[in-house]
Structure 1
Amino acid sequence: MTVTKMSSRAFNQEVSRAKKAAEEGPVYITDRGKPAHVLLTFEAYKQLTGMSKSIVESLAMPDAVDIEFEPERAIIVNRDVEF
């Protein structure tokens, strides 16, 4: 993994170079010599945050076809209505 450091001015002028460098590792973007931002690929970000699936993918449950589920029958008791 290669760490790249570039000033915010250089980042503004060479965005495509920064994106290519992010493929190899994080790109530290500095403001007046101090680290201010980090550029990562989305895959690196997902790995860093532990985000492997979206909520939609998690709720889709593609294997749910194999799950057998028989809910209990509800017992409904009718009552007289009082007005």
Structure 2
Amino acid sequence: MTITTMSSREFNQHASEAKKAAAKGPVFITDRGRPAHVLLSIEDYQRLTGGRMTLASALAQHDVPDFDFDPPRATHLYRPADLD
């Protein structure tokens, strides 16, 4: 695993290089010489987080195929109106 450090300015100017470096290990992005952010590959992120993804995160993905989502109906949350 290779650890890379870039300044915020370098990151802004060379984002594609940062993404390539993240494939080999974490990329620390510094602000005024102090680590402020870390760029990880999705595989490293999932390994660190246990691979769990929230529904909102899953639905927000743009580069993955659609998937079926059929939630159960919530019939117990209301009752029919009594019009008598």
Letter in structure 1 aligned against 2:27: V
SS of 1:6's partner is strand
* Higher share in helix: 1
Alignment of 1:1-83 (within 5 A): 1-52=1-52
Q: Name which one, 1 or 2, has greater alpha-carbon Rg.
A: 1
SS of 2:28's partner is strand
Aligned-residue offset at 1:51: 1.8
Q: Deviations over 1:2-48 (max 9, x none)?
A: 00000000000000000000000000000000000000011110000
Q: State the aligned residue count.
A: 59
Runs of 4 or more above 2 Å deviation = 52-56
The TM-score normalised by the length of structure 2 is 0.62
The TM-score normalised by the length of structure 1 is 0.62
Q: In 2, distance between residues paired with 1:53 and 1:38?
A: 19
Note the residue ranges of structure 1 that are not aligned, 5 or more in a row: 57-83
Q: In 2, distance between residues paired with 1:40 and 1:34?
A: 18
SS of 2:2's partner is coil
Q: In 1, distance between residues paired with 2:32 and 2:52?
A: 35
Percent same amino acid among aligned pairs?
A: 62
